[in-house]
């Protein structure tokens, strides 16, 4: 194991309650706090733990490379990744919206240059909730995919990955290189300390473009309207269990 690539997306912060614009043209993003997609943070944490374990157990030097696609300000999220412990970062800068298939092709172009043993991503981004990029990347890279990982064990050139599936937990074994997308319970990402932020400023962050990688960002799926969800009617508050049972009986529910 020599190199791990972690794909990171800049998204509206987890704690922001997103609101739809009144003209239905999109969601309000002006002045909204942006962060690293929480699942990608977990992906990075896992890569860093593999790096640290390798260094401790057999003096290995695993390089962790954080990559992203997005507007110039995405450098902020890559600096966060560097502060967490990534060794270097690459931003594929574009002002255009990037669909999952385009993102997968972009990451493939980077993977072909960098030859990572492992690519980690979050299982989904919390903005478009698409849950596609890792699987698409694995397909076009012609490598294994292990999605929704809650446990990752690397042994030589293999990874045993426990996956969170609807029925419970499933374990698969994949040959490296492979793509792993991570679920919530894989780990708890570390907090970034101030000295690490200072150190991260000196780490290399390269900026490239879709053009330079030979990628065209066509919009194959067009968003024609963005609306707020239907609201549920506010209900009634009952005073005790007897009244609750009464209401449920009247509704024919019990």
Residues within window 105-144 making contact with another protein, judged by CB under 8 A? 123-124, 126-140, 142-144
Secondary structure E strands in 39-195: 63-70, 88-93, 118-122, 145-155, 158-165, 168-175, 178-182
Decide if residue 169 touches another protein (CB under 8 A): yes
* Shortest distance (Å) from residue 231 CB to another protein: 9
Which residue number, 86 or 149, has a Cβ lying nearer to another protein?
149
CA atoms within 13 A on the CB side of 65: 18
Total residue length of the chain: 254
- Near another protein in 16-75, by CB under 8 A: 17-20, 27
Distance in Å, CB of 24 to another protein, minimum: 9
Cβ atoms < 10 Å from Cβ of 97 = 12
Measure Cα distances from 222 to 158, 176, 191, 218 in Å: 40, 36, 38, 10
Q: What is the DSSP letter of 39?
A: H
Please answer whether residues 103 and 130 qualify as being in contact, where contact means their C-beta atoms are separated by less than 8 angstroms.
no
Segment 185 to 244, residues that bind another protein, using CB under 8 A: 185, 220-229, 232-242, 244
CB of 122 to another protein, least distance (A): 10
Q: Which of 12, 44, 62, 67 binds another protein (CB under 8 A)?
A: 12
The CA-based angle 201-202-205, given to 5 degrees, is 80
Least Å from the CB of residue 58 to another protein: 25
Peptide bond into 235 cis (omega under 30): no
Cβ proximity to another protein, 67 vs 174, nearer residue: 174
Decide if 203 contacts 89 (C-beta within 8 A): yes
DSSP 9: -
- How many residues at the interface with another protein, by CB under 8 A? 81
Nearer to another protein, 2 or 223 (CB): 223
Q: Minimum Å distance from CB 6 to another protein?
A: 19
Binding-site string for another protein from residue 147 to residue 166, where x marks contact by CB under 8 A and - marks none: xx-x---------x--xxxx
From 42-50, 90-98, 175-183, 201-209, give the range in contact with another protein by CB under 8 A.
Answer: 175-183
In whole angstroms, the minimum distance from the beta carbon of 9 to another protein comes to 14
Smallest gap from residue 25 Cβ to another protein (A)? 11
Calculate the dihedral angle through the C-alpha atoms of 130, 70, 27, 221, rounding to the nearest 10 degrees: -50
């Amino acid at each position: 194991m020599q190199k791990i690539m972690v794909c990171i997306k800049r998204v509206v912060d987890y704690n922001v309650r997103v609101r739809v614009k009144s003209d239905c043209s999109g969601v309000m993003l002006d002045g909204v706090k942006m962060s690293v997609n929480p699942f990608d943070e977990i992906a990075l944490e896992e890569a860093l733990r593999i790096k640290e374990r390798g260094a401790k157990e057999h003096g290995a030097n695993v390089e962790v490379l954080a990559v992203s696609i997005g507007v110039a300000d995405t450098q902020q999220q890559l600096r966060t990744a560097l502060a967490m412990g990534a060794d270097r970062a690459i931003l594929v800068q574009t002002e255009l919206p990037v669909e999952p298939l385009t993102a997968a092709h972009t990451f493939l172009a980077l993977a072909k240059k960098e030859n990572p043993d492992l690519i980690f991503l979050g299982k989904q981004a919390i903005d478009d909730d698409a849950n596609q990029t890792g699987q698409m990347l694995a397909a076009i890279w012609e490598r294994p995919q292990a999605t929704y990982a809650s446990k990752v064990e690397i042994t030589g050139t293999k990874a045993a990955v426990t996956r969170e599936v609807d029925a419970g937990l499933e374990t698969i074994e994949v040959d490296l290189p492979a793509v792993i997308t991570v679920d919530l319970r894989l780990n708890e990402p570390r907090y970034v300390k101030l000295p690490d932020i200072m150190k991260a400023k000196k780490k290399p962050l390269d900026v490239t473009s879709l053009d330079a990688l030979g990628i065209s960002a066509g919009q194959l799926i067009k968003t024609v309207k963005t609306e707020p969800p239907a609201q549920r009617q506010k209900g009634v508050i009952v005073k005790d269990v007897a009244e609750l049972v009464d209401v449920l009986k009247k509704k024919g529910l019990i």
